[in-house]
Copies of this chain bind each other. A is one copy, B any other.
């Protein structure tokens, strides 16, 4: 689907980009963060609450949804949008990453991956054709190709084999998406660049996938255990090798400073479970760094998590109340802290977009990171 992405502006001092990604369920202003809805729900949030914090697009997990409740059940109920009550864009991963991290008795062949479900031990096969079919059953707006994500650390030879296999699977996914009409009715398929820590492997993988003219490109194999400088280096190596006219997405990342740094490297889309996951443990984000609300010092603190931040949690509740809910293990704390953390991420992306438009992204993002990392939030 050429033309789905419009590059509106490129920052003069960094590689940051302001873009717009058209989908069947509306446009996504980029850079943007995608809340993760693994099992057909962004944990603890209603779709109405997601809309209220300004979420533009969410992520669903093919591996999980295909095992439970099953792609056919979701298709029979009108697709993932109708199933979960979200009428905005949905990107789904291919399931490959979870096969490598969750499934048991995995066998990787040239045609695909055979594995046992982590839920009930059932034998499942995922090949390029299957992952496109499943994502069609889910009615994804943006599907990801099946890939093999090398672990970290990884020998060069093993990495080369995974990259070559991933390249062939990517081509097969694109062919399946064309043959089945997946692309024709406005859906998109994004390729995934692997290559571990080997710069030349990443560059060649990016070039080979770029030649296939995908609607978008992800940088995969990052945030798999490597140190942060190494992760940023991989993104810095890979991003310039991707077509400038297509959206770029780093999968599974990251902290607020990491997002701003990757935007400066030319990345447009992000997803990460961190803001939702840490919320359930009482951790919240602020411009002065993270806080853990379970700390005794918040026992009678009447302040909101972030003064002036316009979300339901900050408008109505004190740190003392949120701490109380967390210590009492009340379900509501998961909802209220997830609202805050996701809104904090989305608001950060809104600020990033505004500063790219204003032409001062470089200075702004350096200042933001400096405050976040040096200040002591209380």
Would you give the 0/1 interface string for A325-347, flagging 1 where the beta carbon is closer than 8 Å to chain B?
Answer: 10110111011100000000000
State in angstroms the CA–CA spacing of A324 and B77 once bound together.
12
State the A residues within 8 Å of B (CB): 39-41, 43-48, 68-69, 73, 76-78, 83-85, 299-300, 302, 312, 316-318, 320-321, 323-325, 327-328, 330-332, 334-336
State in angstroms the CA–CA spacing of A73 and B299 once bound together.
8
Task: Please name 25 pairs of A and B residues whose Cβ atoms are closer than 8 Å in the assembled complex, sorted by A.
Answer: A39-B324, A39-B328, A40-B321, A40-B325, A40-B328, A43-B331, A43-B332, A44-B331, A44-B335, A46-B332, A46-B335, A47-B316, A48-B312, A68-B324, A69-B299, A73-B300, A73-B320, A77-B300, A78-B302, A83-B324, A85-B316, A85-B317, A85-B321, A331-B334, A335-B335
- Which residues of chain B come closer than 8 Å to A45, judged between CB atoms? 332
State how many angstroms separate the Cβ of A326 from the closest Cβ of chain B.
Answer: 11
Q: Is the CB of B77 within 8 A of A302?
A: yes
Of B44, B317, B324, which contacts A332 at CB under 8 A?
B44
- Cβ-closest 3 pairs across A and B: A85-B316, A44-B331, A69-B324
Q: Is the CB of B83 within 8 A of A321?
A: yes
State in angstroms the CA–CA spacing of A328 and B331 once bound together.
16
Q: Is the CB of A46 within 8 A of B336?
A: yes
State how many angstroms separate the Cβ of A136 from the closest Cβ of chain B.
Answer: 18
State in angstroms the CA–CA spacing of A302 and B325 once bound together.
35
A73, closest chain B residue (CB): B300
State how many angstroms separate the Cβ of A118 from the closest Cβ of chain B.
Answer: 13
State how many angstroms separate the Cβ of A370 from the closest Cβ of chain B.
Answer: 33
- Which residues of chain B come closer than 8 Å to A78, judged between CB atoms? 302
State in angstroms the CA–CA spacing of A316 and B40 once bound together.
14
Q: Is the CB of A39 within 8 A of B336?
A: no
State how many angstroms separate the Cβ of A338 from the closest Cβ of chain B.
Answer: 9
State in angstroms the CA–CA spacing of A269 and B279 once bound together.
37
State how many angstroms separate the Cβ of A231 from the closest Cβ of chain B.
Answer: 30
Q: Is the CB of A39 within 8 A of B330?
A: yes
Given A68-B327, A324-B68, A324-B69; A318-B77 close (CB under 8 Å): yes
Given A76-B300, A300-B73; A84-B48 close (CB under 8 Å): no
Q: Is the CB of A320 within 8 A of B44?
A: no
- Which residues of chain B come closer than 8 Å to A69, judged between CB atoms? 299, 320, 323-324, 327
- Which residues of chain B come closer than 8 Å to A46, judged between CB atoms? 312, 332, 335-336
Q: Is the CB of B68 within 8 A of A321?
A: no
Given A46-B335, A321-B83; A330-B77 close (CB under 8 Å): no
